[in-house]
Amino acid sequence: MIECRICGGLVEEFLDLGRQPLSDAFLRPADVDAEFFYRLAVGRCASCTMVQLTEEVPRERMFHEGYPYHSSGSSVMREHFTRTALSLVETELTAADPFFVEIGCNDGVLLRTVAEAGIRHLGFEPSGGVAALAREQGVRVRGDFFEESTAVAVRETEGPADVIYSANTICHIPYMDSLLRGVDALLSPGGVFVFEDPYLGDIIEKTSFDQIYDEHFYLFSVRSVQAMAERFGFELVDVRRLPVHGGEVRYTLARAGARRPAPSVARLLDRERVQGLTEPETLRGFASSVTRIRDDLVGLLRSLRDDGRTVVGYGATAKSATVTNFCGIGPDLVSFVCDTTPAKQNRLTPGMHIPVRPPDAFAAADPDYALLFAWNHAEEIMAKEQWFRAAGGRWILYVPDVRVL
């Protein structure tokens, strides 16, 4: 057992996904021999119930100049971030000269709306390539990791923040003590810390085990976030379930006693208790379901191969690395993966080294089946690729179970 990064309690491992590569390290063929691997396993703290990885990957290996993920790559997510920004402008940024800080602003898709509203803002983004794209959008970006020292530096020069916001980033940060001390240093007395990340409840319910990868160090539940907040002098005052990225929760933290918690907090806590969400038996059952999905998916792909059917992948997502490496899916089962991100194209997927090709390769290949790695964007993708099913093609999904559409 290892110690919990939040409270120091003992973490009991319940799922081992084996040897894994960096999920966003799409390789040139010449770089294959230097590929980095680590052991991907997940456990639960017996004290605070926080579900977390048992091995930490150095942050500089994951978030760097060539980090390929762009938050604005999906029209659904662009609309989501615009709505989120406008809501925060209307509800939380109403004082004179408000200050908005985003942790992990990526390519500036949300901050652009804040900037257009004339609100003083700053984004933290250590990945140089996407930070440069954000600056091109007219937003202010600091190319650092958010932690206590950098937060204190911003407080000294910019003053307190009325809102500190983050999307799909806080779960990436193992050093939560430094991060929350940084929030404490930077946040105004009446301000809020708002973050949204994949929700353990959705991961368990959907058996979406591909949400477990190097960047997702924590898998948050309402119970574990509430315990974490209290430990650092904050209070969980609101929660909201979100349909994006396969199921997330938006958490709102304030200083202890500063705001009355919304009824949604108690409701979702009660639901987690009824579900036994963080109970060891529930998590062991999840692990058994993951093994079943692996066996079903590999069996299907091998059967299709043996029947002479062609299968390609759709969406070279970070989470697909967990699936391909845990299941042993290589080019013999999936001939290539198509993706819209230029930085991933003409490279190889992490670990299993499946070629990544531009989107036009999908139609050119005219495959019999497409394995949808980007399943959380299924509706958007299938609407875009209606010709595929019209031509007799079929989609393969593996969340919440293996099925063919």
Query: What pLDDT digit, counting tens, does each position of 160-209 carry?
Result: 999 999 999 999 999 999 999 999 999 999 999 999 999 999 999 999 99
Mean pLDDT in the chain?
95
User: Confidence class of residue 389 from pLDDT cuts 50, 70 and 90?
Assistant: very high
- Alpha-carbon distance values, 1 to 41, 176, 222 (Å): 12, 20, 24
According to the model, what pLDDT value does residue 120 have?
A: 98
Residue 75, Cβ neighbours under 10 Å: how many? 11
Residue 294, Cβ neighbours under 10 Å: how many? 19
Is the pLDDT at 101 greater than 90, yes or no? yes
Instruction: List the structure tokens of 204.
Output: 């368990």
Any idea what DSSP says for residue 346? T
Better-scored residue on pLDDT, 51 or 58: 51
Q: Is 114 within 8 Å of 98 (Cβ atoms)?
A: no
Is the pLDDT at 79 greater than 80, yes or no? yes
User: Confidence class of residue 52 from pLDDT cuts 50, 70 and 90?
Assistant: very high
Beta strands in 125-215 (DSSP E): 141-142, 161-167, 187-198
Is the pLDDT at 1 greater than 90, yes or no? no
Instruction: List the structure tokens of 16.
Output: 């081992």
According to the model, what pLDDT value does residue 60 have?
A: 82
User: Confidence class of residue 16 from pLDDT cuts 50, 70 and 90?
Assistant: very high
Better-scored residue on pLDDT, 58 or 316: 316
User: Confidence class of residue 68 from pLDDT cuts 50, 70 and 90?
Assistant: confident
Is the pLDDT at 27 greater than 80, yes or no? yes
Weakest mean pLDDT among 7-16, 26-35, 258-267: 26-35
Average pLDDT score over residue span 345-360: 97
According to the model, what pLDDT value does residue 18 have?
A: 97
According to the model, what pLDDT value does residue 8 have?
A: 95
Give the helix, strand, coil percentages of the chain, each rounded to 5.
40, 25, 35
Using the structure block, give the residue that is written with the tokens 């490279």.
Answer: 347
Q: Is 370 within 8 Å of 389 (Cβ atoms)?
A: no
Whether the pTM exceeds 0.85: the reply is yes
User: Confidence class of residue 62 from pLDDT cuts 50, 70 and 90?
Assistant: confident
Question: Residue 134 in 3-state DSSP?
Answer: helix
Instruction: List the structure tokens of 282.
Output: 């529930």
Residue 378, Cβ neighbours under 10 Å: how many? 17
Determine what percent of the chain is predicted with pLDDT higher than 90: 92
Question: How close are the terminal C-alpha atoms of the chain, in Å?
Answer: 42
CATH class entry, domain 71-281: alpha beta
Is the pLDDT at 281 greater than 80, yes or no? yes
According to the model, what pLDDT value does residue 240 have?
A: 98
User: Confidence class of residue 90 from pLDDT cuts 50, 70 and 90?
Assistant: very high
Is the pLDDT at 69 greater than 80, yes or no? no
Instruction: List the structure tokens of 90.
Output: 């209307």
Instruction: List the structure tokens of 194.
Output: 């708002």
Angle between helices 148-158 and 176-186 (to 10 degrees): 10
Is the pLDDT at 347 greater than 90, yes or no? yes
What residue ranges do the domains of the chain occupy?
71-281
Note the pLDDT tens digit of each residue in 204-255. Answer: 999 999 999 999 999 999 999 999 999 999 999 999 999 998 899 999 999 9
What sections of 209-319 are H helices per DSSP? 222-231, 263-275, 280-306
Half-sphere exposure of 342 (CA within 13 A, CB side): 2
User: Confidence class of residue 92 from pLDDT cuts 50, 70 and 90?
Assistant: very high
- Alpha-carbon distance values, 28 to 33, 182, 265, 344, 382 (Å): 10, 38, 46, 10, 29
Is the pLDDT at 25 greater than 80, yes or no? yes
Is the pLDDT at 66 greater than 80, yes or no? no
Determine what percent of the chain is predicted with pLDDT higher than 70: 100
Longest dimension (CA), the chain: 67
